[in-house]
Amino acid sequence: MIAKLTPIYSTAWRAAVVLLSAEIAVVSVLRYFTDLDPPPPPVAANAFANPFLVLHVIGGVAALLVAPVQFVGRVRTRWPAFHRANGCVYLAGCALTAPTGLILALGTTSGPVAAAGFAIPALLLPVFTWWAWRAAVARQFDRHRDWMLRSYAVIATAITLRLMLPASALLGIDFSDAYPVIAWLAWMTNLALFEYLIRRDRVSGRDFTRYAAA
């Protein structure tokens, strides 16, 4: 029974991630490129919001939208040229969102704890992505996969953050108390989960990339 249900769960996770990524993209466009949905006050108050916030959003949304396609085995096998081109878009997105994210972390008005929580993933992202690219160039595809998953775990912080913030509000936690904690918890949760699954499936010989969207 579990074996029969596993593909259903995998498909459901993939669909959920795609929908959440699309929702983030739409909301980001409305907030930062139109006047229909103003950004949250703590974000708008960032000392370096102009011009780095828009640049950060462009890079992050691009990377977030193209990343799940990279983990689809059928695409990698049948259309390797598309896989490489899509990977270049992801690399460009990371190259833009990481430095702007670091600048925005330094300009946050939510205090030093939140600043450090946002700065660390901005520093980890280019390191993970660089190692993934070097492994691909060296045709060390298992290492490439593992480092790309770690890179995506950082990019997917955009999803985790937007799930944790409303969850904290539902629990009655004040935003000013929750925000600095979630600045750490969002990316640490992703990295811990991905690292556990990478190491577990490395031992068992299973291909974790088919669960990457989860």
At 171 the pLDDT is: 92
Instruction: Divide the 214 residues of the chain into consecutive groups of 10 and give the mean pLDDT of each group.
Output: 42 72 82 79 88 93 89 81 91 96 95 96 96 93 91 93 91 90 95 89 57 42
**Domain around 32:** 2-211
Cα radius of gyration rounded to whole Å, the chain: 17
At 146 the pLDDT is: 92
By the 8 A CB rule, do 60 and 93 touch? yes
Tell me if residue 140 falls in helix, strand or coil.
coil
Nearest alpha-carbon partner for 152 in 206, 208, 90, 92: 90
DSSP string spanning 25-82? HHHHHHHHHSSSSPPPHHHHT-TTHHHHHHHHHHHHHHHHHHHHHHT-HHHHHH-HHH
At 20 the pLDDT is: 81
pTM: 0.84
Domain count, the chain: 1
